[in-house]
Structure 1
């Protein structure tokens, strides 16, 4: 007997880009701050370095991160790696930035990343548990 699919959660490209822009901005401020604290006359290079690093990382792993599908059935939540989490073992679902974090009764934690509406993702999983 196969379980019917209640919902599929896939990373959202727009959310992924927004999160990387935010990381680049935070990295830029941090890099400039460190360079200024060190007395570097060219602190602006921190912006260039941070933006370049986050951009390269973003492009390099985009297809891998966005292409991950989580599948919710009446009995389980299945990760992209095929890990089956019985819904009876899900203790809590909470949101962290653009992710929904699933916490099991044994303390294992799983992140469903780059959700356009992580609260809705969490609510769907919580609703399936009820």
Structure 2
């Protein structure tokens, strides 16, 4: 499988300083997939048991295989993503950037970090190793900018 290389987001403005870079964490990514496989497997098995299927074990097995295949297929793309925090902006993996004063809400959200802008845009910093530290770094940069 070819390696995904994110485009854009690497150009900084003159005089702009990079404060932090957030990358998706491999262990967090696979832990999230494990939780998803367990929850979906339980649900699939329960549905099969409820409808009287003679092999309800097929639900959890199928869910684990499906989630594992999904995780393997997307891993190189997702784990290559990076978010750059500068003294002026937060630059997203696709190259889109938001000025720090435009960030209204920065909060942990199911293991990710949710960003909400003044314009109403919502984004996630996906699979950070430490969501609380990521929120704190962005809040420090926002506070220093104010």
Within 2, Cα distance between the matches of 1:103 and 1:51? 33
Within 2, Cα distance between the matches of 1:61 and 1:79? 18
What's the Cα RMSD here? 0.7
Unaligned runs of 5+ in 2: 1-13
Within 1, Cα distance between the matches of 2:101 and 2:33? 34
Determine if the alignment matches structure 1 residue 10 to structure 2 residue 23. Answer: yes
Compute the TM-score of the two structures, normalised by the length of structure 1: 0.97
Helix, strand or coil for the counterpart of 1:40?
coil
Unaligned runs of 5+ in 1: none
Compute the TM-score of the two structures, normalised by the length of structure 2: 0.87
Helix, strand or coil for the counterpart of 1:23?
helix
Give, in angstroms, the shift of residue 2 of structure 1.
3.9
Q: How many residues align?
A: 130
Cα shift readout 1:83-109 (whole Å, capped 9, x = no counterpart):
011101000101112211111012111
Determine if the alignment matches structure 1 residue 126 to structure 2 residue 139. Answer: yes
